[in-house]
Amino acid sequence: MEYKVIGNNDFEQDIIKTILSNRGIYSSEMGSVLNPSAVYEQPYSSLCNINKASELLLDHLKNGSDIFIQIDSDTDGITSSVILMKYIKKMFPKSKITYRMHEGKEHGVILDTVPDNTDLVIIPDAGSNQYEIHKELKERGCDILVIDHHECEVESPHAIVVNNQLSPNYLNKSLTGAGMAYKVCQALDDKLGKNYAEEMLDLVAIGNIADSADSRCLETRYYISKGLEGIKNPFLKKLFKKQEFSTNGVKTIQNTQFYINPLINAAIRVGSKKEKDQLIKSFLGSREKVLYKKRGSAVEESISIQDDTVRILTNLKNKQKRLVDKATDEIVQKIRQENLLENKILSVYIEGILEKNLTGLVANKLADTFKRPVLLARDAEKAEFLTGSIRGYDKGEVKNFKELLVGTGLFEFVEGHANAAGFCIKKNSFKKINSALNDLLKDIEHKTVLDVDFEIPFKLLKEDFILEIGNQRELWGYKLEEPLVAITDIHVNKNEIEILKKRTTTLKIRSNQVEFKKQFYKNEFPQLTDESESYVLTCIGKCKLSSENKPYIEIVDLEVVHSFLF
C-alpha cells in the first residue's frame, strides 16, 4: 500500500481550506464553492448564436412545424432532450415533436432516421462536428439546431450551433449538454415573458453529474446544488426514493453518480427499444398507467409508468452486471493466455466476446483490476479498421491516456475525455501498439499510489475531524474529490475486529471509540483473521457519517504493519 501526502497536512486547523487548496481552489473562491449562489450564473447571451437559436425554434413552433429531436445515448443526452421537450410542450402543447433514441451507444443524428416531413432537426448534446450531415439536411429543406458542449474545430456553416466551447465570451467550458439546453430555455423564457426554465434544474444537475462536469466551477456548482436540493421531476423523485437505503436519503453529487445515474445508463446499454421509450415517457411526466403482476401474485395491478420504469431499470441494472461479469471473466482469461500483462497497457481484441454497449464498463473494471490503462478493440464496419473504447487508470503514472495514444501517430482518431474515449485504428497499426507504448512507458512502473490530504497518527485523530469532513458530503464531486486520510499506528485487539453478515458483508474495526468499516467485504485483508491476537494497522479511508449521523472511517485500503501472538 503506497500513498503520498498532498498539501501541508494541516489536520488540526483549516481542514476544509486545506482540502480545497489541494484541489486548486483559491482562498478567494472557497466561500463561493461552499455556498454556491445565482450571482455566479453567466448570462445566456454570452453564448454565440443563442438568440438566433431561440428565434429559430420559436418561429417553427409558432408555424406548427414538424420538429425532430435526436436523443443522444447517455444520461446527459437524455436529460438535455427531456429539458427541451418538457419546455416546448409546456409552452406549446400542440407542438409536433417526434424523437428517436439510438439503438446502441451511437452519438449524433443519423441521416436515414430523420423523417421526410421534418422542418427542424434539433440535436442536443451532440452534432457539432457533423458538417456533412448538416449540409445534406439543409439541402433537404431542414433547419438544423445543435445544442452541444463537445469540442469541435469550426462552427458548422449549415446549422445554428450553440456550444460553450465555440463561445469565447462564455467562460464556463465545463457545463454539459443539459446545461446548454437549460441556457436555451432561459433565452426562450425571456422572449416569452415566462419563468419556467428553472423548474428543470433537477434535470440539469443529473446531466452535469453524469457527464463529469467540473464541480469546482461556480456556475456549474450552483446549478447542481440547486437542482439536487429541489427535485421536482416525478420520475427522479421515485428513483431517489428507490435508492434511499444506499443513499441514506441524502441527495449528493456522489450518491447521484453511484446510485441514480447507473440505473439510467443500464437502460441505455442493455434496454430494449420499448424500455428506452418508456424511460423517456417517464422523464416527460406521462400519466400513463401500466399493468404489473407481482411475483407470486395471480392478480395484475395498475401502477404509474414511473413506478414500473423504476422496477424495469433495477432489473436492467442486474442484467447488465451479469453480462459485464461474464464478459470480464472471459477477457481476463484471454489476457492471461496471451500474456498481455507483460505490456505496459492492456490492448485486447474482444470481437465476439463483449456487446458493444458494455465496452466502457468492462474497460473500467479491467483498469481497476490490473491497475493500468486499457484499450478494447473490435472489428469496425470497414474491414481494415478496428474501433473501441479506452479507459485510463487515474491512480497510476499515466494521467492522460488519450494524449498518450494520439502521440503515437497510430490512430485514425481518439475522441472523448483524457481517460475515457473512443478510437479508430487500422488493423496493421493495432499490431504495433504494444511495441510503441512499451517503449514510451519503459520507465513507468505499474503501481497504485493514493493521494491523501492528511496523514494522522491514530492517537491524534479526533472525532471532530471526522465530523467536519463528513458534514461536507454535499461538496465532493468531479475535480473536487472526496479526501482520503492515512491513519497510522492503529493498535487493535482481535476482539475489536468483526465481520458482520446481513444484507452485505461488512468488516468493522473499533479502536478507542473510533469505528472503521468496509462494506461489501471480500476478505481483502486475510491477515486480520489469522492466529494473531493484536495488530498495528495503517488505514487509508474516507470520513463518513452513518444514517444516524455518527462519524466513522470508510476503509479504502488497509495494511497490517505488525501482528502479535502472545
pLDDT in tens, 161-188: 999 999 999 999 999 999 999 999 999 9
Q: Residues spanned by CATH 2.40.50.460 within the chain? A: 2-33+449-564
Between CA 389 and CA 105 the distance in angstroms is: 11
pLDDT digit string, tens, across residues 258-299: 999 999 999 999 999 999 999 999 999 999 999 888 887 778
Work out the percent of the chain whose per-residue pLDDT is above 70.
100
- 73 — pLDDT class (breaks 50, 70, 90): very high
By mean pLDDT, which of 48-57, 124-133, 298-307, 384-393 is the weakest? Answer: 298-307
Work out the percent of the chain whose per-residue pLDDT is above 90.
90
Residues whose CB falls within 8 Å of the CB of residue 484, separated by 6 or more in sequence, listed in order:
3, 450, 451, 452, 453, 540, 541, 542, 556
Asked if the model's pLDDT at residue 371 lies above 80, the reply is yes
Q: Residues spanned by CATH 3.10.310.30 within the chain? A: 345-440
Can you tell me the mean pLDDT for 350-370? 94
Question: Is 2-33+449-564 in CATH node 3.40.630.10?
Answer: no
Give pLDDT, residue 435.
94
Mean pLDDT over each residue of the chain, to the nearest integer = 95
Give pLDDT, residue 484.
98
Can you tell me the mean pLDDT for 56-82? 98
pLDDT digit string, tens, across residues 223-243: 999 999 999 999 999 999 999
- 361 — pLDDT class (breaks 50, 70, 90): very high
Give pLDDT, residue 293.
82
Asked if the model's pLDDT at residue 566 lies above 80, the reply is no
Give pLDDT, residue 390.
97
Cell numbers of 96, please? 409536433
Asked if the model's pLDDT at residue 146 lies above 80, the reply is yes
- 445 — pLDDT class (breaks 50, 70, 90): confident
Give pLDDT, residue 292.
87
Give pLDDT, residue 209.
98
Fold classification of 38-231 (topology level) = inorganic pyrophosphatase (n-terminal core) (3.90.1640)
Give pLDDT, residue 204.
99
Can you tell me the mean pLDDT for 198-204? 98
CB-hemisphere CA count at 13 Å for 562? Answer: 10
Asked if the model's pLDDT at residue 547 lies above 90, the reply is no
Closest CA to 235 of 272, 273, 286, 302: 286
Give pLDDT, residue 533.
93
Between CA 208 and CA 76 the distance in angstroms is: 7
Architecture of domain 345-440: Roll (3.10)
Residues whose CB falls within 8 Å of the CB of residue 127, separated by 6 or more in sequence, listed in order:
70, 108, 109, 133, 134, 144, 146, 148, 159
Q: What is each CA distance from 290 to 237, 300, 341, 419, 530, in whole angstroms?
A: 19, 10, 50, 41, 55
Give pLDDT, residue 565.
84
Q: What is each CA distance from 464 to 11, 12, 455, 458, 481, in whole angstroms?
A: 11, 10, 16, 14, 20
Q: Residues spanned by CATH 3.90.1640.30 within the chain? A: 38-231
Beta carbons within 10 angstroms of residue 510's beta carbon: 16
Decide: helix, strand or coil at residue 8.
coil
Between CA 240 and CA 255 the distance in angstroms is: 9
Can you tell me the mean pLDDT for 552-556? 98
Give pLDDT, residue 448.
84
Give pLDDT, residue 532.
92
Asked if the model's pLDDT at residue 444 lies above 90, the reply is no
Asked if the model's pLDDT at residue 416 lies above 90, the reply is no
How are beta strands 374-379 and 346-349 bridged, if at all? parallel
Give pLDDT, residue 502.
84
Give pLDDT, residue 44.
98
Give pLDDT, residue 257.
98
